[in-house]
A and B are shown apart, each in its own frame.
Chain A
Amino acid sequence: MPTTIMARGSQLLPVAVVAVAIAVGAFTSTSGQAQGNAAQRRDQATLRTLHVQGNVHLVVGAGANVVVQLGNLGSVLVDTGTAQNAERVLASVRELTPRPVRYIINTHSHADHVGGNERIGASGIPLSGRGVAQVGAGNSAPRAEIIAHEETLNRMSAPSGSAAPFPVTAWPTATFSGSHKEFFYNGEGVQLVHVSSAHTDGDTLVFFRRSDVIATGDLYSTVSYPVIDAQRGGHINGVLDGLNQLLALVIAGEKTEGGTMLVPGHGRVSDEADLVEYRDMVTIIRDRIQDMVKRGLTLAQVKAANPTMDYDGLYGSAPGWTKDQFVEAVYNNLKPPPPASRE
């Protein structure tokens, strides 16, 4: 009977509601979990990005900072991070723009800055026929053009018959040997400034002039003392010359902040005031060690005097470059050369 059915139905109603609720809950839970997993996968596949200013963005967490200039013509990357992070860098750039990578600019030759050259370069398309030249170098397809100072190419390659530290497909394809190189791209001038014998001998600052952003490479860092790669031509006085050269390019904005923005090789986005603190710190420590060298202190005595103590909390705990390594590098740069032997 209907009544009975209704009665039975009314008795069953709470059960049905609970069942539906459980089912819906299970679905939404599963759905939420799936969404969470998707988000997690997406997070693992990409890196965090930050808009710096104008056309310029930063990809964070690739081993070194990767700078991306966006525009209708396709993107320019300054450095490519480590080889292990190349796919994630590429995925992050693709989230920023569907357009291809046209140029890669390397600030210097270290693996945390050029490691992604091969993979990311292969994903790119040169703007002109210039990239086709690489086909003749053993590649089957055009690639993004890789620009760097000639010394960077020298450090990444090797003479015929010797083993090069990087595969040929990661090497710069367009080099410059002077103090500057410039081109106009995506509506702004792109100025490459060579800083000699600083972090390495191939350091290049990349200035996006309309965006007013400079990618500094490892000449400047907010998280470590300057890394002086003496084996690749680095020197403390070159670092200071480079920092002062960089300072001359930078114009602070209104109320002495903002204006020209800097993306260091490692660490956070900065402006002139941050750079000034760093330049002051490097100058002061150089002067202290210089004075100790003049007074004839040994390296052990210089280290014992702790000339970096006031700055160690800020810069002394970077992985791979301790304060002792920094002091030793500066000491070795400044100590008088051994007397020439007489035959």
Chain B
Amino acid sequence: MKLRNALGFVVLLVAFAAPASAQSFLSGDWANFYHEDQPERGPGPALGDYLGIPINAAGRQYADSWDASRLTLPEHQCRAHVSPYIYRGPIRVRITEDIDPGTQSVIAIRHFLSTYAQERIIWLDGREHPPEEAPHTWMGFSTGEWIGRTLKVRTTHIKQGWHRRNGLPMSDKTTMTEYFFRHGNILSQLSIVEDPIFLEEPLVKTTNLMLDVGGPNQYQAWLFCQADDEVPGRDPAYVPHYLPGQNPYLTEFAAQHGLPVEPTRGGAATMYPEYMQKVKTMPIAPAPRRQAP
């Protein structure tokens, strides 16, 4: 989705947003539901599926080199998802507010994210973002402002992560603008992710969450992850990856779904409806050869 279209979408949503019924506007427990991109949220995306992600050539080469075995390295095992990605996983979000006891104004909104027990703070007190040389975190540094009943959030200082968890990289130069708006018991998040290193155009996504009242506590306040030696005896300096042209899995997704290969390689063009006409003229990927049992 082009950025101007996304912003137009925001304007419409803000204009037609229904008033919230809950006493606290965004606070509460929010559960995900998986009507959008279920494979992304459950089992995970297929290798070589870059469809609909506006990646550039650099992002494509990075992903083509990526070997899922990299996740077996001890230093990779406990990594969390970054804030531009984490809301699309299996997740529950507990939203609370920090109140200034003197003025009773909201200083910050907190999102406690069940996945990787991440805590995200959205500052509303007008503070500045940290300087360039400050550390980056999985959630980044977020500041927010209210536009009517829509919360606009800007996030910087995010660690390198991924746009899709099949190796499509997200750089640490990424910034994200979000709009949170509530329609009764549904909370919608619109995120506009700008990555000058690996994206051709902003990646725009919407995610819906459902108010979950009175359910059992499904959170834990801590995450203890201890990396194990998953491949004993391996050289600790070894980094799994494919050399250029040697990744055997890049056409598997296209073949399994009867698609041409080209659209599965991603890029901004693959986001737009008119691309479908072009896809119809492309040859279908050959079915993968299976070895006899």
Contacts and interface: CB of A to CB of B under 8 A. Distances in A.
Interface of A: 48, 50, 58, 60, 65, 222, 240-241, 244, 247-248, 252, 254-258, 261, 267-274, 276-277, 279-280, 283-284, 287-288, 291, 305, 307, 309-314
A312 B58 contact: yes
Given A256-B80, A256-B225, A268 B135 contact: yes
6 contacts: A222-B172, A255-B118, A271-B135, A274-B160, A274-B172, A280-B239
Interface residues of B, number: 41
B136 A268 contact: yes
Contact of B138 (A50, A222, A241, A255): A255
B133 A58 contact: yes
B78 A314 contact: no
- Label chain B's interface by main secondary structure: loop
A287 B240 CA distance: 10
Given A305-B244, A310-B58, A274 B159 contact: yes
A48 B75 contact: no
B117 interface: yes
A266 to B, nearest CB: 10
B131 interface: yes
A244 B225 contact: no
B171 to A, nearest CB: 6
Given A58-B133, A256-B78, A305-B244, A284 B160 contact: no
Contacts of B223: 254-255
B239 A283 contact: yes
B15 to A, nearest CB: 37
Interface in B191-234: 196-198, 222-223, 225
B173 interface: yes
Contacts of A269: 133-135
Given A255-B118, A313-B198, A314-B197, A50 B133 contact: yes
A268 B133 CA distance: 4
Contacts, number: 100
B76 A244 contact: no
Interface stretch (B59-67, B175-183, B257-265): B59-67
Contacts of A291: 243
B248 interface: no
Contacts of B132: 268
A214 to B, nearest CB: 13
- With most chain B CB atoms within 10 A of its CB, the pick from A58, A244, A312 is A244
B92 to A, nearest CB: 17
Top 9 A-B pairs, shortest CB-CB distance: A313-B197, A310-B62, A310-B61, A283-B239, A256-B78, A269-B135, A268-B133, A244-B237, A276-B75
A256 B222 CA distance: 12
Contact of A244 (B58, B59, B79, B236): B236
Nearest to A275: B75
Contacts of A272: 75
Contacts of A273: 79, 159-160
Given A252-B78, A274-B172, A288 B243 contact: yes
A64 to B, nearest CB: 12
A149 B46 CA distance: 50
Contacts of B239: 279-280, 283-284, 287
Given A48-B133, A254-B223, 9 more contacts: A248-B236, A255-B117, A257-B159, A274-B160, A307-B244, A309-B61, A310-B65, A313-B196, A314-B171
B164 interface: no
A305 B243 CA distance: 12
B171 A313 contact: yes
B57 A309 contact: yes
A305 B245 CA distance: 12
